[in-house]
């Protein structure tokens, strides 16, 4: 492993400051923080501390008064918009209400908050001898702290419904006018102001006054409307609406342009969606290529922490690899994020969901990517979400147990491509989804198929854009290239004969109706009338050993599968056939 560890980010809430935000308490907590994680941070070139202080409403509501009291994330459970939860008639569940995390949470002023930020940087640099940056966070949802701005003053910006109707701020929303004073808008908000402009200006002033170094955009913010769901503005779950793709894509690009116009120099880091690039494109019309290449200086999203919650590791790996196949040229950071504590939902994955087992370190730790230079790289940054738990405790057993696994994972990480190399059609997906073909369903289908294959055991851990693979085909020597059936005339379609001539094995997935006749002939398939619904499968290979009869009924749904099955044998060996 030769990839240097550029940065370790310690994410934390303000809950450890249980005895208040006076100088002595802040000093005590900060020294314990850096002491606990020194065995890891000593290997990094720099350190960051990312503060989950509130939900970002402190940025939105900032009026410039440092002595104003700040609403902060002092709760366990959802802080806003309590939904009706089934089987909770008394409304006691954490999704029904929130609880103070301790008996008397301390009050916090913005002036004291600025002191916390300064102390973290000073103490971290003193103890580590390394550069220390401190980051602020903006979250579009209702979870962390009570928000007047999002749910009382300006609910019109909450176009997403991932946590209930009108709960998630949409990046391309516009604001109704108001007459309140804000730091960036002392005369109030004019009617129709784009949210990107408002957030950018408020963030520029707030972060500068508080002493922050960068901003993290959380929970998919900036990457569509329904950033938690497989449905969105383009795919409603029953049908695709490709006629909306250009409108949505233009709005998303305009958000990034407006945000950067107000924040021209501030480093931006992103969570991205919990899903797949194909879902982002097909579900919400997200033009990820244009975002990455737009000169916005943002950091590409890391792996999703959802795997710790739902054990969907195929989603974690496929989403991460599809988001990192290409990286922004002006910020080529490759970030791995590990979920050890949750300061909001009474959940500490390392202790209770992982059972102190390191599978979600070593499994994503096997992921690598082929860069434009032909070299295979692993993540050069590590984020730890979070160093404190829902009660504000920082149990030292967690860093003591986790750090050795993280270091061993990096020591044994890949230095070349794995046995299977995913050639991700980053350009082709965008070309065809946003081009005249309006093929928004192709990336949606393709990424979900790979997600399911990984969950069923496909050992896929290396990703390359098709462009990078074709520029460096030697990286695929001795590997199996896994990639969708290319459309006729695509670069990969033209390059396939050359790859095969180099004895590179290629495993294609997906339908062939857009393939060239030459490729279908090479595969030994023709096209017939589409087959869908309930189908009987007849196998020409030996049955699996199992108790009872082998199931032969398959249900093929057209909407998520690019239509019906059309392939028929045309000279190839038939291993399975289906009849309606």
Q: What is the value of pTM for the model shown?
A: 0.95
pLDDT score for 580 = 62
Res 362 pLDDT > 80? yes
Average pLDDT of the segment spanning 367-372: 96
Given a cut of 80, whether residue 430 has pLDDT beyond it is yes
Q: What is the pLDDT of residue 106?
A: 97
- pLDDT of amino acid 552: 85
Beta-bridge partners for 483: 508
Q: What is the mean pLDDT of residues 100-113?
A: 97
Q: Give me the pLDDT at residue 571, please.
A: 76
CA–CA distance, 572 with 296 (Å, rounded to integer): 49
What is the CATH topology of the domain spanning 416-523? Rossmann fold (3.40.50)
**Whether pLDDT at 252 is above 80:** yes
Using the predicted structure, report yes or no on whether residue 136 has a pLDDT greater than 60: yes
Q: Which of 190, 198, 191 is nearest to 169 (CA)?
A: 198
Correct CATH for 7-411 of 3.90.320, 3.30.70, 3.20.20, 3.40.50 = 3.20.20
Q: List the chain domain ranges.
A: 7-411, 416-523, 524-580
pLDDT at 309: 86
CA dihedral angle for residue 276, residue 194, residue 79, residue 63, rounded to 10 degrees: 140
Categorize the per-residue pLDDT at 561 as very low, low, confident or very high, splitting at 50, 70 and 90: very high
How much is the pLDDT for 83?
66
Q: pLDDT tens digits for 19-62?
A: 999 999 999 999 999 999 999 999 999 999 999 999 999 999 99
Q: Is the pLDDT of residue 302 over 70?
A: yes
- For residue 1, pLDDT over 70 is answered with no
* Other beta carbons less than 10 A from residue 575's beta carbon: 10
Q: Is the pLDDT of residue 348 over 90?
A: yes
Q: What is the dihedral of CA 524, 529, 533, 534, to 10 degrees?
A: -60
Q: Of 142-146, 198-202, 322-326, where does mean pLDDT reach its minimum?
A: 142-146
Write the burial class of residue 543 (CB in 10 Å: 0-12 exposed, 13-18 middle, 19+ buried): exposed
How does DSSP assign 237-266, residue by residue?
Answer: SS-B-GGGHHHHHHHHHHHHHHHHHH-SSS
Task: Please compute the mean of the pLDDT values over residues 559-567 and round it to a whole number.
Answer: 91
pLDDT in tens, 199-213: 999 999 999 999 999
Name 555's bridge partners.
Answer: 534
Query: Averaged over 342-357, what is the pLDDT?
Result: 94
> CB under 8 Å to 271, separation ≥6 — which residues?
216, 217, 218, 219, 220, 221, 301, 302
pLDDT digits (tens, 9 = 90+) for 157-184: 999 877 777 889 999 999 999 999 999 9
477 contacts: CB under 8 Å, gap ≥ 6: 502, 504
pLDDT at site 67: 97
Residues 479-518 have pLDDT tens digits of 999 999 999 999 999 999 999 999 999 999 999 999 999 9
Band (pLDDT 50/70/90 cuts) for residue 549 is confident
- What band does 545 get if pLDDT is binned at 50, 70 and 90? confident
């Amino acid at each position: 492993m030769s990839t240097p560890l550029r940065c370790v980010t310690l994410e934390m809430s303000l809950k450890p400051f249980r005895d208040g935000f006076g100088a002595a308490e802040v000093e005590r907590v900060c020294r314990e923080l850096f002491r606990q994680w020194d065995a890891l941070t000593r290997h990094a070139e720099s350190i960051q501390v990312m503060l989950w202080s509130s939900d970002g409403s402190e940025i939105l509501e900032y009026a410039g008064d440092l002595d104003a009291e700040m609403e902060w994330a002092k709760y366990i459970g959802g802080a806003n918009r309590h939904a009706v939860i089934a089987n909770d008639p008394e409304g006691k569940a954490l999704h029904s209400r929130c609880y103070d995390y301790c008996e008397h949470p301390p009050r916090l002023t913005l002036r004291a908050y600025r002191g916390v930020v300064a102390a973290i940087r000073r103490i971290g640099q003193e103890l580590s001898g390394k550069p220390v940056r401190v980051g602020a966070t903006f979250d579009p949802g209702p979870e962390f702290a009570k928000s007047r701005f999002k749910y009382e003053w300006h609910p019109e910006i909450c176009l997403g419904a991932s946590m209930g109707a009108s709960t998630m701020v949409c990046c391309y929303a516009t604001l109704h006018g108001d007459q309140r004073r804000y730091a960036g808008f002392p005369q109030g908000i004019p009617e129709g102001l784009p949210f990107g402009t408002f957030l950018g200006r408020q963030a520029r002033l707030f972060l500068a006054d508080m002493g922050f170094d960068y901003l993290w955009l959380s929970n998919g913010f900036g990457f569509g409307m329904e950033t938690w769901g497989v449905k969105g503005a383009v795919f409603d779950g029953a049908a695709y609406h490709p006629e909306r793709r250009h409108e949505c894509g233009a709005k998303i690009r305009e958000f990034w342009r407006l945000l950067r116009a107000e924040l021209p120099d501030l480093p931006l880091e992103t969570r991205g969606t919990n899903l797949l690039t194909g879902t982002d494109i097909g579900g919400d019309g997200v033009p990820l290529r244009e975002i990455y290449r737009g000169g916005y200086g943002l950091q590409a999203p890391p792996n999703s922490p959802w795997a710790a919650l739902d054990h969907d590791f195929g989603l974690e790996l496929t989403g991460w690899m599809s988001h990192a196949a290409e990286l922004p040229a002006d910020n080529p950071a490759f970030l791995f994020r590990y979920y050890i504590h949750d300061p909001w939902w009474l959940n500490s994955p390392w202790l209770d969901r992982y059972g102190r087992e390191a599978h979600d370190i070593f499994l994503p730790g096997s992921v690598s990517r082929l860069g434009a230079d032909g070299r295979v790289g692993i993540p050069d940054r590590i984020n730890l979400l979070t160093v404190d738990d829902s009660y504000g405790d920082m149990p030292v057993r967690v860093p003591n147990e986790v750090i050795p696994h993280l270091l061993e994972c990096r020591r044994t990480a890949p230095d070349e491509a794995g046995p299977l190399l995913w050639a991700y059609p980053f350009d082709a997906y965008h070309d065809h989804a946003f081009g005249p073909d309006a093929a928004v369903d192709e990336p949606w289908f393709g990424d979900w198929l790979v997600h399911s294959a990984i969950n069923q055991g496909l050992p896929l851990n290396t990703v390359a854009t098709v462009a990078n693979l074709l520029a460096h085909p030697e990286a695929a020597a001795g590997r199996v290239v896994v990639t969708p059936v290319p459309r006729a005339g695509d670069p990969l379609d033209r390059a396939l004969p050359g790859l095969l001539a180099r004895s590179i094995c290629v495993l294609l997935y997906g339908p062939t109706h857009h393939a060239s006749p030459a490729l279908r002939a090479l595969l030994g398939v023709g096209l017939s009338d589409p087959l869908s619904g309930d189908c009987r499968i007849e196998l020409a290979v030996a049955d699996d050993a199992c108790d009872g009869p082998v199931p032969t009924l398959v249900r093929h749904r057209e909407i998520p599968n690019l239509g019906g099955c059309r392939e028929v044998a045309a000279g190839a060996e038939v291993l399975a056939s289906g009849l309606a």
